[in-house]
Structure 1
């Protein structure tokens, strides 16, 4: 049965155990300022378990500890939620928000490490990746939390939402820099459309509703599907406690966006939003790969192209265009530019639906329109490239990109450290095993000079 599930084979083959290794081999020179932990989450079902959808595989967090030019350890741990031991999400009393895969993302906020899955509560982890338990913000969070919260680089606030196929369809939340939930509001006018990511600018919150919506007839275990009847829309809401009552929805062309590159207000007061987007056929190809359906093709993200929307609230119009013809996903940027105009952004390239192209780390210059690709080599798949600012950097791209590469030919993985300005290799850390291809992650710098962060 596994052979029919592409998300359990090749780069995505699950690992069967939890390990810890110390004193990792380094090629090149690790910058001493890279002192912290790279954490990366992804779906990794336990041996003998075959989920019906890639997204239903149990979450496993992989961690790499760097300190002052050394690679001190690698460890991987399942997120020990009730779902890991078979607890169902739906019960006779409704959904169990603790029965989570917790396999989409892992972040740090307010001193807590949180493993995230958008249909559940977050799960707190220790610095060594052991599971503490579900985190509900001292009982203030009563619904699900997106796997893509946004931390304001100025205020330190964490903005996030929770969506549901049933009313209330969309809830918006803000936690302060210490991690206390200080604001929640229902967003009027939202629908059952799948909302995986969103954006925050200096003055607005930006929601995206695409053509993928709740479909009770979808039996893969993830009840969503493409609907031509579901309108694609962008919701623009002023930030602040009274913003929900002022949200405006703008119609856009059909499509579905999973991940936002960034959003900001330009000099004319327009909101500019960018992110990889698929059309109807692109969604079908990816979905069929995710569930292992016939005709699935060879790769997900095969028709995922970067799109830009420019919303003019004063005129009530939206201009949109595809800005690049390269199939990409997992966009990232220097997070100091989150919510304001950025020149550079990064992504991972994929082969298109005809099999043309290859995996690589991509850098876009939004000012010149230039695109640069760092090829990672044959049968090698990089993970989302996490940007880490360089100490004392003055330019937006002064920093490093960290990506974990799955190498099928060597049955191994490496942490690749690239110079973000030119995409040149700085160092390679050899890991003790091949790391299952996953989804999202974070760089957690040390917060104390003695390395007390773990």
Structure 2
């Protein structure tokens, strides 16, 4: 079994390719091995923590975007830039004088998404920050003053309506979670509370064509840890809290949420979900527990499936594989629909799972350490074999990184191209392809 994270280590992010880089660079005309597909025209951007000074947890470092511009079969440039949030520029307190959260105090280190013409750097504790195509920070983005909440780092864009679905959490008073929706033009049109009983750490959620699904799981805010102020994540596993999925119809967003109990676990990342008759099928990376004594990673997450039977009010759970994986990604044109494949990081490999069977195909990267792989579609209708997978891969032999491009039709084969970057890209979190 391979692991996606350094199991049992709490300070891994200070060493090797987890350690930050010191310089912001701009380099043009990058060297390429192989041939970049001529259809690729856009930006590959990936976010992750790159602290300017020592931090106590991997999740708390300052956000840095690493980007490559691809056009006309060439890698035009590489840039890396810190996201210059208000609290990056000056010392902003986490809480305002009235006790409310200062939503501009942010590290913006987790994801980068594009919706309605705006590219946003995200962290779940704060407002998003808008950036330009050249990775310069524009400023905090609050949907024209309508968002007075944090924004999850894992919003979902509906491929049919163009709507942006997301939530915010982290308030120390009710409502602890609020669901939000923006239309295809980027106008915030919905805010509704989600009835959870405590301040849970809700990192991700799921969406189908007809539903959104919230994950109320037993990693909850721990005031004692927060008061100690040691820099650890202020959340701990609770044996008493329970675990459940909340289902809300998209066409009736003010209706009561239906809750379904599941076996206790934690989920950072959903691969996908879709409707199947009277049921919802949800696939995600499941941890049997998390953060019982500290904020480390003591056990692997593995790919799991839940089938929520809306008519019978039951949930069936099954494990799809036993490999330790993380960062599952699908063809985003199939978000909320029955996607066939999800690609995850597994040690020194990417694994592409058939979500119907759980069977995985590995693409081994030798001694290289990959980050998340993002699917870029080719021309034509949604076809998960017509396109490419892009991701940063660390090369320990030269202490540098490459942007690796795989042909989706030959996932186990050799990369079609490797773009050598002028410095290593530290292991980070999530990114996206933004089409020109």
TM-score by length of 2: 0.92
Offset, 1:394? 5.9
1:53 maps to which residue? 57
Q: Report the 3-state secondary structure (helix = DSSP H, G, I; strand = E; otherwise coil) of the residue aligned with 1:387.
A: strand
Offset, 1:283? 4.7
Q: Distance in 1 between matches of 2:197 and 2:405?
A: 41
Q: Report the 3-state secondary structure (helix = DSSP H, G, I; strand = E; otherwise coil) of the residue aligned with 2:269.
A: coil
2:264 maps to which residue? 254
2:431 counterpart of 1:444: no
Offset, 1:127? 0.9
1:356 maps to which residue? none
2:387 counterpart of 1:399: yes
Q: Distance in 2 between matches of 1:243 and 1:112?
A: 25
Q: 1:411-430, aligned counterparts within 5 Å?
A: 411-423=399-411, 424=413, 425-430=415-420
2:361 counterpart of 1:375: no
Offset, 1:189? 4.1
Q: Distance in 2 between matches of 1:80 and 1:265?
A: 40
CA contact (8 A) 1:214 1:223 kept: yes
1:64 maps to which residue? 68
Which structure carries more relative contact order (alpha carbon 8 Å, separation 6+)?
A: 2
2:335 counterpart of 1:338: yes
Q: 1:207/1:251 Cα in 2 relative to 1: closer, same or farther (>3 Å)?
A: same
1:88 maps to which residue? 93
Q: Distance in 1 between matches of 2:140 and 2:278?
A: 40
Q: 1:14-163, aligned counterparts within 5 Å?
A: 14-46=20-52, 49-84=53-88, 85-94=90-99, 95-163=101-169
- 1:237 equivalent among 240, 248, 252: 248
Q: Report the 3-state secondary structure (helix = DSSP H, G, I; strand = E; otherwise coil) of the residue aligned with 1:235.
A: strand
Q: Which runs of 5+ in 1 are unaligned?
A: 290-295, 297-301, 351-358, 447-454
CA contact (8 A) 1:165 1:214 kept: no
CA contact (8 A) 1:121 1:145 kept: yes
Q: Distance in 2 between matches of 1:173 and 1:416?
A: 35
Offset, 1:182? 1.2
Offset, 1:190? 5.1
How many residue pairs align between the two structures? 419
Q: 1:340/1:393 Cα in 2 relative to 1: closer, same or farther (>3 Å)?
A: closer
CA contact (8 A) 1:58 1:83 kept: no
Q: Distance in 1 between matches of 2:372 and 2:29?
A: 24
Q: Distance in 2 between matches of 1:398 and 1:71?
A: 21
- 1:277 equivalent among 260, 264, 286: 286
Q: Report the 3-state secondary structure (helix = DSSP H, G, I; strand = E; otherwise coil) of the residue aligned with 2:270.
A: coil
Q: 1:77/1:260 Cα in 2 relative to 1: closer, same or farther (>3 Å)?
A: same
Offset, 1:74? 0.2
2:340 counterpart of 1:329: no
Q: Which moved more, 1:396-405 or 1:78-87?
A: 78-87
Q: Which runs of 5+ in 2 are unaligned?
A: 1-8
Offset, 1:164? 2.0
TM-score by length of 1: 0.89
1:27-75 deviation digits (Å, cap 9, x = unpaired): 11100111100000000011xx111211110000011000020000000
Q: Report the 3-state secondary structure (helix = DSSP H, G, I; strand = E; otherwise coil) of the residue aligned with 1:404.
A: strand
Offset, 1:333? 0.4
Q: Distance in 2 between matches of 1:163 and 1:110?
A: 23
Offset, 1:4? 7.9
- 1:202 equivalent among 204, 209, 213: 209
Q: Report the 3-state secondary structure (helix = DSSP H, G, I; strand = E; otherwise coil) of the residue aligned with 1:396.
A: coil
2:233 counterpart of 1:222: yes
Q: Distance in 2 between matches of 1:260 and 1:286?
A: 23
